[in-house]
Structure 1
Amino acid sequence: MNKNLSYALHSAAVLAFMFLFQFLPPVAPLTSVSMQVIGVFIGVIYGWVNVGLAWPSLLGVVALGCTDYMPMTTVLQTAFGTQTLVMILSLLLLAAFVQQADLTGVILDWLLGMKSARGKPFLTLFYFLMAGFLAALLSQSIAVFVIFLELFKDLMKKTGIKPYSSAVPAFFVGMGFSLSFGDSALPFKGSGIVAIGAYQAITGESMNLVHFVLFCMPLSVLGIAAYVLFCKYCMKVDLSPLKNYVHVKENVTLSLKKKVALVGVVGTLLFLLLPGVVPPSSSLHDVFGILGLGGLSLLLLAVLFIIRVEGEPLIDVGKIAPFFPWNVFFILVVLFPLANAISSDVVGLNAIISSGVSALLNNMPTALIMATVIFLAAYITNFANNMVICALFVTIVCFIRDSLPIHPEILSYLVVLSSSLSMFFPAANPINAIIFGQRDCVSFRQEFTHGFICCSFLCCVLLVSGYVWSRIVF
């Protein structure tokens, strides 16, 4: 089947789910409104997995506005008019600015140039993956990966790492999940934003951004360190060619504009965390209450727009426009009204899912609930877009929150991290697709085997560390 025919068939399926599914006879206790909303939901998910993220999201908004659940005006208000979406839009603009500012090379040189890594191959691997993780925090993961892929190939030439040796999948799999972690560990990145949006849409409450960072950042770093140790002591990866590797730093000076950009970005993120830590009795808390996260994020973004460095604006809209992650924005636009609809009493899925899952989870230990969520999200994300899987599992967690012996925010954070373990199949994300295409230096079997084993191990790491860390943070 050629690509055009496949695209046409998948597109037809999306349209059928969104506009024809509603004509199927509903099974009690579902109603005709239930069938309309469920059809739109299935159509959007199917489109995300098989077609793309942009037009299924936008068409999903239109289709939902054509149902009997709510009129188009209300759908559009819910999609575009919330405090959370305004905050997310501001953060996406900030993320685009950071990527355009090009701070990746500075981070890479700083980490790989450390003297402590000389003669220590696995420490070099750790620094390499940490460099990717930190660069992905401040940029777009696929762009960072392109740079790191070329760096690794250059590393192979300089050190004599052989194609199809165990070192190759160790680096490739590590790059895949560490960059994905970097794209998720902050609340203004891809999966983090999706999780915040889904949580807000269903629970009506805002996620605590301070808790998000305190939970996801340390566990991400721990996951990378655990992976390196697992490669060394359990997978017995041979990194001996790296023993004599010395990274030569480029003579790159940090311009005044980049210094101001870095300070501005860090300051903005710190200010967005303040509403979660200031005492309720303080006047600053009252100010934050008036502004809301949406107003505060717009204020901070406006300040960055006002700043000029060497006669030029710090942020130029025209320059950052090509870096804006539209796919993330499109997902959220449909997610807000659709998640509200799916979880409403009118549709009735909430009661069905809650009763079924409540029976399943009755008297189930907290650790087993966490394990089920982590392993399912991690394995399924390797066959679908991680943001889609993150949105789905956070939605499910919020559905059953009254039946959980653990705070739904904790499980949502674990979903963000476990859905980022895209490690053993090419369909996981564009990075994995490129990695599995490197047939000149790694086989499909090598990449799949190493990735699957390490994914299972990291699920266990997330389970144990997540359980312990949740007791400390919450």
Structure 2
Amino acid sequence: MERQRLAMPMPKLLKILVSLLIIAVFWVAPAPAPLTQVGMRVIGVFIGTVLMLSLVDTVWPAILAVALLGRTGVATLNEAIAGTLGSWIVYFVLMSFVMTYALNKSGFTDRLVAKFMSMKFVSKSPWVFTISMATIGLILACFMDQVPAAAFMLMFANKVYEELGYTKKDAYPHVANIMVIYAVIIGGAMTPISHSLALLGMGIYEAAAGASMSLFTYLAFGVPTGLVLYVFLTVIMRLTCRNVDMSKFKDFDVQRVLKHQGKMQLRELITVIIFFGTVVMWMLPGIAGMFTEAAWVTALNDYGITFWAILSVVLMSVISVNNEPLINLKEVMNGQINWAILIFIAIGVYLGSAMSAESTGINAWITSNITPLTTSVPPVVVVIIITAAGVLLTNFASNVSTITVMTGVGVSLALASGGAINPAGIALCTTMAGSCAYLLPSSFACIAMLHGNEWSDSKKVYIFGIIMMIASSLAIGLVGYSVGCALT
């Protein structure tokens, strides 16, 4: 028997020690006002946790972060646990995973992938194929919440990689996953349909400026601005990923996939009806709200998207074909759900919320340091500064808090500018900026899902995330603001 001894690779040990040292330094360092000591501790936990999640492991640092946050003063341990595993986002993601698993198990995903891969247009070249796949994510996210859209697109894309013969170490899936999820993020920022973030920003503007803003105004602003961003995404990915191996496309025989597709059976049909019926219920309140304020629309909004996801999973567990349910939920929960990804998402979302808590003073510090930068500079520069600050903040903290803080700051500056800055225009910019999360797991559940996906490379996410942050700041601050001013 080999003698056992305590041992760990030195690089891994150093990464852990450096991360813990950062946490310790922020824990005892004095807090510059208006930051609080609680805020300093939370920042330290945030930086140390992100480093360990990125460089060491994606599970135990998340669990450690919950314990540490419970000692920072921003929340008790019980509150931190409830805010992570007890969050509605985590429950919603779990239900989305079960729904997409059921769709995959029914055979519909294979059918959809085969249909997509056999289309003459998308098969013209590997890049046309990749951009087409990302465009599906963009369009889907325009009409439904980004989280289920991201879950569906990751499942769809991962099936494509398997059919093409790629492995999880190949570069192409890593690049394609980034394009697909970033397209989902942009699509969700383009419209107010089923997107609470857009409605939040519009509501803050209306309260601060005392003027109304229609859903059509946001739509007319968001679509062209988002399309500019999406074009930039495709161009930058195309130019910087020329050396990605796409030889698998040359050897791929689409007939090999098509021949496995038979007639749709009852089990598959019912699963598809339940799945897409749920998608309709997610989208219906948002679409209907653009045309009417009837009581039934308000009632549907009150249910929320998680209710319909839960109902969908229950129906799939109860409805049986040939004495077997569409899904055996116990088996799915025990053997098919990646709980490590859920824990990863849970701490990512909660870290963003903790950073934005009032007791940390972080939002107040950001506001007090941004406002002086906007004095004695041209209005367009003020708009770009505010927009860039919104993009930066939402990639580290909660997008809800980002939109709340930055829209409030932007509209206040505009109202005090004597007409030099358009209040509605800057409100539209800060609202869209708050949805442009590309970088860290703490920024958005979709990005946490991207980092946690086994076909993804976090290093590439960071590189392209920074590029997209810069692009979003400029596109929204220049193109978006001009469009917003023309509409209001």
Unaligned runs of 5+ in 1: 155-167, 188-194, 204-208, 378-387, 421-426, 437-450
Change (3 A) 1:245 1:76: closer
Q: For the Cα contact (< 8 Å) 2:370–2:386, is it kept in 1?
A: no
Deviation at 1:8, TM superposition (A): 2.2
Greater Cα shift, 358-367 or 53-62 = 358-367
Structure 1 equivalent of residue 58 of structure 2: 53
Q: Distance in 2 between matches of 1:265 and 1:394?
A: 28
Greater Cα shift, 304-313 or 18-27 = 18-27
Q: Kindly provide the CA deviation profile for residues 441-464 of structure 1, in whole angstroms up to 9, marking residues without a partner as x.
A: xxxxxxxxxx98xx78x9489937
| Pair 1:339-2:360 in alignment | no
Q: Distance in 2 between matches of 1:217 and 1:61?
A: 41
Query: What is the SS of the residue equivalent to 1:114?
Result: coil
Query: What is the SS of the residue equivalent to 1:9?
Result: helix
Q: Distance in 2 between matches of 1:334 and 1:395?
A: 17
Tell me how many residue pairs correspond in the alignment.
Answer: 408
Q: Distance in 2 between matches of 1:77 and 1:328?
A: 17
Greater Cα shift, 360-369 or 268-277 = 360-369
Query: What is the SS of the residue equivalent to 1:26?
Result: coil
Structure 1 equivalent of residue 307 of structure 2: 295
Deviation at 1:272, TM superposition (A): 1.8
Change (3 A) 1:67 1:226: closer
| Pair 1:354-2:367 in alignment | yes
Structure 2 equivalent of residue 76 of structure 1: 81
| Pair 1:250-2:259 in alignment | yes
Deviation at 1:221, TM superposition (A): 12
Structure 1 equivalent of residue 128 of structure 2: 126
Change (3 A) 1:27 1:114: closer
Structure 1 equivalent of residue 275 of structure 2: 265
Q: For the Cα contact (< 8 Å) 2:278–2:308, is it kept in 1?
A: no
Q: Distance in 2 between matches of 1:79 and 1:390?
A: 17
Change (3 A) 1:76 1:403: same
Say which of 50, 62, 66 aligns to 2:67. Answer: 62
Structure 1 equivalent of residue 433 of structure 2: 411
| Pair 1:148-2:161 in alignment | yes
Deviation at 1:100, TM superposition (A): 4.3
Say which of 339, 343, 350 aligns to 1:326. Answer: 339
Q: Distance in 1 between matches of 2:135 and 2:324?
A: 30
Q: Distance in 1 between matches of 2:287 and 2:362?
A: 36
Q: Provide the alpha-carbon RMSD of the alignment.
A: 5.6
Q: For the Cα contact (< 8 Å) 2:69–2:80, is it kept in 1?
A: yes
Deviation at 1:225, TM superposition (A): 11
Equivalent pairs: percent with the same residue?
18
Q: For the Cα contact (< 8 Å) 2:388–2:473, is it kept in 1?
A: no
Structure 1 equivalent of residue 419 of structure 2: none
Greater Cα shift, 241-250 or 336-345 = 241-250
Q: Kindly provide the CA deviation profile for residues 61-85 of structure 1, in whole angstroms up to 9, marking residues without a partner as x.
A: 2111123333223333333445454
Structure 2 equivalent of residue 175 of structure 1: 176
Query: What is the SS of the residue equivalent to 2:408?
Result: helix
Q: For the Cα contact (< 8 Å) 2:317–2:327, is it kept in 1?
A: yes
Structure 1 equivalent of residue 192 of structure 2: none
Q: Distance in 2 between matches of 1:22 and 1:324?
A: 36
Q: Kindly provide the CA deviation profile for residues 364-422 of structure 1, in whole angstroms up to 9, marking residues without a partner as x.
A: 45874598479979xxxxxxxxxx957578865654332331334412333359999xx
Q: Distance in 2 between matches of 1:314 and 1:36?
A: 47
| Pair 1:93-2:110 in alignment | no
Q: Distance in 2 between matches of 1:149 and 1:6?
A: 33
Structure 2 equivalent of residue 402 of structure 1: 408
Change (3 A) 1:230 1:411: closer
Deviation at 1:264, TM superposition (A): 1.8
Q: Distance in 2 between matches of 1:42 and 1:172?
A: 28
Compute the TM-score of the two structures, normalised by the length of structure 1: 0.63
Deviation at 1:102, TM superposition (A): 5.0
Compute the TM-score of the two structures, normalised by the length of structure 2: 0.62
Greater Cα shift, 258-267 or 280-289 = 280-289
Q: Kindly provide the CA deviation profile for residues 309-350 of structure 1, in whole angstroms up to 9, marking residues without a partner as x.
A: 332212222453444343553244334554343223322111
Deviation at 1:353, TM superposition (A): 0.8
Alignment of 1:157-196 (within 5 A): 175-181=176-182
Structure 2 equivalent of residue 108 of structure 1: 113
Q: For the Cα contact (< 8 Å) 1:219–1:466, is it kept in 2?
A: no
Matching residue's letter, 2:480: Y
Q: For the Cα contact (< 8 Å) 1:18–1:42, is it kept in 2?
A: yes
Change (3 A) 1:460 1:342: closer
Change (3 A) 1:262 1:461: farther
Unaligned runs of 5+ in 2: 1-6, 138-148, 189-195, 205-214, 411-425, 445-450
Deviation at 1:352, TM superposition (A): 0.9
Matching residue's letter, 1:263: I
Q: Kindly provide the CA deviation profile for residues 202-243 of structure 1, in whole angstroms up to 9, marking residues without a partner as x.
A: x9xxxxx9999x9699958994798489969xx9x9x9x999
